[in-house]
Structure 1
C-alpha cells in the first residue's frame, strides 16, 4: 500500500539506528499472539499516531515499546540497544508512558502526583531541585491544571484526572513520550488542548507516539500516521498521502469519503450512510 516502505534492519548498536524501533516483535496473551512479528520504526522528533480498530494491538505495541509487556520473540531497540539491557531508572529518563488507565494513591494531591514524574531524576546524591520544581510547574501549566495543584486527585472529574496524568508524563521530561489514548474521558475542548500540547511537545524536539481512536484527530495532528489491523501495520506515512477510502475500508470495514480540510489541508473522513427510502404508509 502507498506510504508503506519496508523498514531496514539496523543491527544493535548501529549509530544510524532510529531512536526507538521494533524488530520482528512478537507479543501475546495466553496462547494468542497479538503482535505476530512486527517491524516498526518510530521517527525521531515526529508526532506519530497509531490508529486501528479495537483489539488490533495498538496498546500492546505501546506497552512493549515501553518494556511493560515482555516480548515472546524479536526485540525492541532504544538508541540501537536492546531495551532489556537498560536499568529501570535509566529507561524512565528516556521513555515516558501514559497508559490507558491509572490509579492514584488515596488522598494524594495533584501537585504531589505530578511531582512523581520527577522520580527517575532522583538519586541518593540528588534530591529535589529547582529544576524539578520548574518541570512540575511547567507541566501543570501546559496541561491546564495549575489551578488544581492543591486539590486531591480523587475529588476531580474524569477529564481533570486525565489531564493530571498527562501532566505527570510531561513532567518526566523524557525525549520519547508514549501516550495511550490520552484524550479518553475528555470533552472536545480538552481533547483539542491535549492534541495541541502533543504537537507543541513535538515542535520542542520531543518524539511523541500516541494511540488515538478518532481518525480525523489523528489525520489532523499526526506528522506520521501508522494504521494497524490484526497486529500488523498496513500503512504508514504522511496522513495526507495514506488516508484513503481504501485504507478506511481495510481498517474498519467502512465505506467512506475522504475530503480535504480547506484550512489545514488534512484529510477528513466522512462515513457513508446507506440511503433509506421512506416506508409506504399502511392503508387504513
Structure 2
C-alpha cells in the first residue's frame, strides 16, 4: 500500500467549480422542500437551508467518507482484494443493499468503490474497510479522524456504511457538514467519476462480471448533474447528497429525512433549478 500522490488542502474555501457569485443569479420564490434537514451551497456560500445544523442519521451517505478514507491511502486502484464470506453476509441482519460479490473472487479496489458508490453495496464497503483499517474498528477510527481534519464538529461515524447499529442514530452528521464532505469528496477523480456513472459492468481477475447501477435517479436526467450518493434507513429516512455544474458554477446540496424515495429527487431538482435561476418544469 502506498500513499496517494495527491495534494489536498483541507478547509479551503473554494474547492469545486466556483466562480460566478451567487448574487449574480436572479431567483424566484424559494422552493418548499419536504425533508427534515436541507442545505444547498454555491461556491462555499449557503443559498438555502432548513435545519442544516441539526444532527441527524445520514444512512449510506456514510459511504462517501468510506471512499475518501480509502483514496487518501491507496494510489494503486488496480490492487485486488479477495472477497471473504464475512463481507457477503455483513449486511444480512439489516437487509442492506449489496453489490452481489462472490466469496473467493478477487476484485479491484476501483471496482469495489464503484460497488459501494453506485449500488451502495455493504459487501463492497466491508471489503474496503477491512483492508484499509486494517480491520473494521481501525477503519472507523480513520473516518472520524478525517472528519476531525475537515473540522466537522457535529459528525460521528459509528460504522463505515450507515447501517443502523449500534442504534438508528449512532452515525450522524448535519446537512451543512455533509455538504462539506461532498465538496471534499469531489476533489478525488475516482469519486467524481463513479458518482456520475449511471451503470457500469466490471470484470474480475477470475473472469466474473458484475454490473453496478447508480441509485441516483438524476444521473442522465438532470443537466450538469455530478452525483453523488443516496441513502436510506428507517431512522434516517430518504437521504440524498447531490451536486450539479453549469458553466463555472457548482451547486452542492444535501437532503436528510425526505419522506419518500421519489420526493428527495424531485426536491433536489427544484433546489438546483432555483439555485441556477431556472424555472422548474414538471419532472418524472
- Report the TM-score, using the length of structure 2 for normalisation: 0.31
Structure number with higher relative contact order (C-alpha < 8 Å, ≥ 6 residues apart): 2
